[in-house]
Amino acid sequence: MTYAEAVRDALAVALEQDPAVIVYGLGAPDPKGVFGTTLGLQEQFGADRVFDMPTAENAMTGVGIGAALGGLRPVLTHQRLDFALLSLDQIINNAAKWRFMFGGRRGVPLTIRMILGRGWGQGPTHSQNLQAIFAHIPGLCVVSPATPADAKGLLLSAIFGQDPVIFLEHRWLHGARGETPAGDHRVPIGRAHRLRQGGDVTVVASSILSLEALQAVDHVALQGVACDLIDLRSIRPLDWDAIESSVRKTGRLLVLDPGHETGGVAGEIVARITTRCWGHLRAPPSRLAMPDAPESTSPALTLGYHVRAEHIAEAIGDLVGAPLEVSSLSARPHPHDVPGNDFQGPF
Amino acid sequence: MVHPLDSGVSRHILRDMIRIRAVEEAIADRYGEQKMRCPTHLSIGQEGPAAAVGAVLGPEDLAVSGHRAHAHYLAKGGDLPAMIAEIYGKATGCSRGNGGSMHLVDEAVGFMGSTAIVGGTVPVGVGLALSLAVRRKPGLVCIFIGDAVLETGVFYESAGFAAVRKLPVLFVCENNLYSVYSPLEVRQPAGRALSDVAAAVGLQASSGDGNDPRAAYGLLKSAADRARSGDGPQFVELATYRWREHCGPLFDNDLGYRSEAEYLVWKARDPIPRLMQELREEGALDPAWLAAAEAEIRAEIEAAFAFAEASPFPDPVLASTDIYSREIAPFP
């Protein structure tokens, strides 16, 4: 099934399994069903539990917190992460703090889906991956699955957990296909997944960059460079053991970050791994992140904006000190600003 | 002349006001000892609304509040020693010392939490009401707010949703005219009543004198009955006045942001002697009952402070725990 279908499947499984689960968001029951991820759920589970909402992101986040305290398991969806910025007060001051500031009696099991836009002119305020902001906050979990199976498994873990979870879901992954277990499939929050095994370089990725990295890692493998590719899946808590044990083996680290470079998650990983694995490093750790600039709307200005497979392969070559053939990776059958030729906008 | 309100309810309100004031005066008296090391906002002078609400709400009803919440917590039945211990930062505090005066909670009596960001619990209260509706449970959610909450965006967002879903919410707005040192007239347009604004958003709104707690009770009772019977969210604005400084134990009329004359006008409208006098005139206040109530309250407060003082501070390990649930916490 596709990633979007896997998200919908997780929601349906949760709604079926527990009457406390509610699903809401702007457009949740509309004819397009949030890129197909909520299609038909209101018809199946009723308007009490699956519903639209006012364009009031901050309040509706607080409503989710209150509903969670009242025994429900709410899932709130934002069609873009950028819209959720209006709700930072409720997320940071209430959801993240509730367990701690009221003495640890209980937390807020609230899942907030934030969809990350990209390309097709999404521009400065419809395309931001601000995972670092959320990962900075004690009390929040941040997950960013790359595959349909992980999307389903992490969403179900988020819904049935006891903590607030920011669920980052890349718009370009919605059409991606993959094997997805049926039923109540859960992926534990805080555990990375090794997608490829190799002894030369540790590549750490998440979300759509895990797919770009797969291409790059498979490409350089044909040239004799074997990489450990670690798909983080969870940004906070972060699976430090997985990265550390890999770097102790490879001595080389490349971190891919779908957010801006300054103050980003990659910087945190590089800093911590450098401190902990100093004696094992054979090359300075490196990172590839988004530029410290907003994303332009014009396709002419987004050409080199995103980290792609060819950049990753080139960086792997730099780490091992061997120039690798990368140019064939940049040949794509579709323009750079869409995930495939079937994507024709508008959002 | 006999007041239409049941004299038992009236005495309940009177006793609650006396108790809340005595607790807060005890806090003010001891604040200088530097043992209560957190910002503390007192409601002295404006106990009327809280006491009236306390008489209206039942055990199945829930409440949330803001930074000035002692009175609301106590009126809802919150545990007094746990509150005092919380202000002392002790392990026995209602939030185990992590919250202080501004983060009170006692879920056993339906006091679901007060927080320190103005307007912060408004949507939380609406969400609690949504949970009652979805789970088909009885009761309502009382959201205590002040006049400044009507300046926050989240109030309009939350009230709108409550109105769309006809949720059982009772907004109780204590209008004490000031937000810290900023008077209402620099914050809201002249002549625009808070209750009119609330009505325009879709709340059924009324307003009255918070320092006449029996009149306030009448407004609140009707509003609560409407909320419980599915009429949708209610808003009751109650005029009142805090006597002391915004935050802390002292009086601050010397600062000049409000006048001594204004304070004296409100002090003359002190809700406690006013209700006492009315009950006396109605023959509904037995001096022995009053003396016993006051003695009980004094003893209870002494015991609460003794409990707080004697309680241990939280174990230092708790500074970095209780951030995540047990399933997440083992991860760094």
Contact A54 B94 (CB under 8 A): no
β-bridge mates for residue A130, sequence order: none
Tens digit of each residue's pLDDT (9 = 90 or more) over A27-46 = 999 999 999 999 999 999 99
Counting Cβ atoms within 10 Å, is residue B2 exposed (0-12), middle (13-18) or buried (19+)? exposed
Establish if B225 touches chain A: CB-CB under 8 angstroms: no
Cα of B51 vs its chain's centroid, Å? 9
Average pLDDT, chain A: 97
pLDDT, position A333:
85
Cβ atoms A185, A149 nearer than 8 A: yes
Among A172, A114, A102, residue whose Cα is nearest residue A141? A114
Cα of B245 vs its chain's centroid, Å? 17
Q: Where are the alpha helices (DSSP H) in B202-331?
A: 213-228, 260-267, 271-281, 287-310
Active site residues of A: 126
Establish if B89 touches chain A: CB-CB under 8 angstroms: no
B161 to chain A, minimum CA–CA distance in Å? 7
Report the CATH architecture of A193-330.
3-Layer(aba) Sandwich (3.40)
Query: Which positions ≥6 away from A174 have C-beta within 8 Å?
Result: A2, A3, A4, A35, A36, A37
Name the E strands within B59-209: 62-65, 111-114, 141-146, 169-175, 178-179, 182-183, 204-209
Q: Would you kindly state where each structural domain of chain A is located, as residue ranges?
A: 3-173, 193-330
Using DSSP, state whether A195 is helix, strand or coil. Answer: strand
Counting Cβ atoms within 10 Å, is residue A276 exposed (0-12), middle (13-18) or buried (19+)? middle
Query: Which positions ≥6 away from A144 have C-beta within 8 Å?
Result: A131, A168, A170, A206, A207, A232, A233, A234, A235, A258
Closest CB from B128, B135, B157 relative to A66: B128
Instruction: Find the radius of gyration of the CA atoms of chain B.
Output: 20
Give the span between the Cα atoms of A119 and A127, in whole angstroms: 8
Closest CB from B112, B124, B331 relative to A237: B331
Picking from B131, B141, B142, B311 by the largest number of A CB atoms within 10 A of its own CB, the best residue to mutate is B131
Give the span between the Cα atoms of A310 and A323, in whole angstroms: 12
In this predicted structure, the answer to whether residue A345 has a pLDDT above a threshold of 80 is: no
Tens digit of each residue's pLDDT (9 = 90 or more) over A56-94 = 999 999 999 999 999 999 999 999 999 999 999 999 999
SS (H, E, C) B134-161: HCCCCCCEEEEEEHHHHHCHHHHHHHHH
Tell me the mean pLDDT in the region B122-127: 98
In this predicted structure, the answer to whether residue A207 has a pLDDT above a threshold of 70 is: yes
Closest CB from A59, A89, A139 relative to B324: A139
Amino acid letter, B106: D
Tell me the mean pLDDT in the region A126-138: 97
Sheet containing A253-260, strands listed edge to edge, beginning at the edge strand earlier in sequence: A193-196, A227-231, A201-205, A253-260, A286-290
Confidence of residue B332 (pLDDT cuts 50, 70, 90): low
pLDDT, position A218:
98
Cβ atoms A25, A171 nearer than 8 A: no
B window 143-182, beta carbon within 8 A of A: 153-154, 156-158, 160-161, 164
Contact B127 A68 (CB under 8 A): yes
Tens digit of each residue's pLDDT (9 = 90 or more) over B213-265 = 999 999 999 999 999 999 999 999 999 999 999 999 999 999 999 999 999 99
Tens digit of each residue's pLDDT (9 = 90 or more) over B158-177 = 999 999 999 999 999 999 99
pLDDT, position B330:
73
Residue corresponding to tokens 């957010």 = A259
pLDDT, position B86:
98
In this predicted structure, the answer to whether residue A347 has a pLDDT above a threshold of 90 is: no
pLDDT, position B270:
98
Cα of B10 vs its chain's centroid, Å? 18
Average pLDDT, chain B: 96
In this predicted structure, the answer to whether residue A182 has a pLDDT above a threshold of 70 is: yes
Confidence of residue B84 (pLDDT cuts 50, 70, 90): very high
pLDDT, position B331:
64
pLDDT, position A343:
79
In this predicted structure, the answer to whether residue A181 has a pLDDT above a threshold of 90 is: yes
pLDDT, position A346:
80
Residue A211 region by backbone torsions, left for phi larger than 0, else alpha for psi between -120 and 50, else beta: alpha
Among B83, B268, B252, B237, residue whose Cα is nearest residue B173? B237
Tell me the mean pLDDT in the region A104-125: 95
Using DSSP, state whether A112 is helix, strand or coil. Answer: strand
Contact B131 A67 (CB under 8 A): yes
Give the span between the Cα atoms of A268 and A275, in whole angstroms: 11
Query: Which positions ≥6 away from A11 have C-beta within 8 Å?
Result: A23, A37, A38, A41, A75, A155
Closest CB from B121, B127, B157 relative to A67: B127
Confidence of residue B141 (pLDDT cuts 50, 70, 90): very high
In this predicted structure, the answer to whether residue A302 has a pLDDT above a threshold of 80 is: yes
CATH topology assigned to domain B7-297: Rossmann fold (3.40.50)
Closest-approach residue (CA) in chain B for A138: B323
CATH topology assigned to domain A3-173: Rossmann fold (3.40.50)
Tens digit of each residue's pLDDT (9 = 90 or more) over A271-287 = 999 999 999 999 999 99
pLDDT, position B1:
61
In this predicted structure, the answer to whether residue A192 has a pLDDT above a threshold of 90 is: yes
Query: Which positions ≥6 away from B53 have C-beta within 8 Å?
Result: B63, B72, B75, B76, B142, B144, B172, B220
Cβ atoms A244, A275 nearer than 8 A: no
Amino acid letter, B138: P
Tokens (6 digits) for A107: 């937390």
